A and B are shown apart, each in its own frame.
Chain A
């Protein structure tokens, strides 16, 4: 997504992991961790 935002023309693309995000079910969380799934905050600007 980060790359797609830059390629679409956005600048100052920033991302940070959302602390504390996890799935309720342990089995889902385990699968998510295996795939490196995480929640992120992304910000970006459309140039003037």
Chain B
């Protein structure tokens, strides 16, 4: 590898570590203070149905770290397969499972295997099931044309390779499938000092 490629690989590895650390901390210490709103306060701010939040496992609600409400336009139907990219502690996956019903399926993908375990435990506590795979959104660990709907909440902005993420979402969707994602975008090119700082990028 060239020096530039080495530096990029190093930066990406550092970013991955920072993402794992930050979101693990939200899950482990949901009463902590972060630079973003999280938990029920954030979910209500984005218009999540309060009845969903009352019904969902407290741990999944407390660890919510999304930036919007992907359910607002996902139009999930009974029997559909939903993929949640960056499923975290599982709140969005659980809400989706209520909408797909027993004939549907929810698949989570998360960088952090312990979050998959946590999300599946939260789902099981509700009497529902979700698959969850450790993996990245640049190489989604499921086959072609599997999902009817992809949801994601505040995750894609963390990737250095957003084109690859878009291509992967296209690959795993069934023809006629759809995405409903909420995320952070920037109108201006971020400064190199931000790009080179994994703590800021992970924010």
**Known A1-B162, A18-B46, A28-B203; contact A45-B35, beta-carbon cutoff 8 A:** no
Residues of B91-129 whose CB lies within 8 A of A: none
Q: Is the CB of B187 within 8 A of A20?
A: no
Complex alpha-carbon distance, A43 and B169, angstroms: 12
- Asked if B180 CB lies within 8 Å of chain A CBs, one says yes
| Contacts beyond the supplied A21-B68, A47-B176: 15 A-B pairs with Cβ under 8 Å | A1-B183, A7-B163, A20-B46, A23-B37, A24-B36, A28-B203, A37-B184, A38-B184, A38-B187, A39-B183, A39-B184, A39-B185, A40-B185, A48-B175, A48-B176
| Binary per-residue interface labels of chain B (31-58) against chain A in the complex, 1 for a CB within 8 Å, 0 otherwise | 0011111000000011000000000000
Q: Is the CB of B166 within 8 A of A7?
A: yes
A-B interface pairs (CB < 8 A), number: 106
**Known A21-B67, A37-B184, A41-B73; contact A8-B163, beta-carbon cutoff 8 A:** yes
Task: Give, as a whole number of angstroms, the nearest-CB distance from A27 to chain B.
Answer: 9
Complex alpha-carbon distance, A18 and B73, angstroms: 12
Q: Is the CB of A45 within 8 A of B178?
A: yes
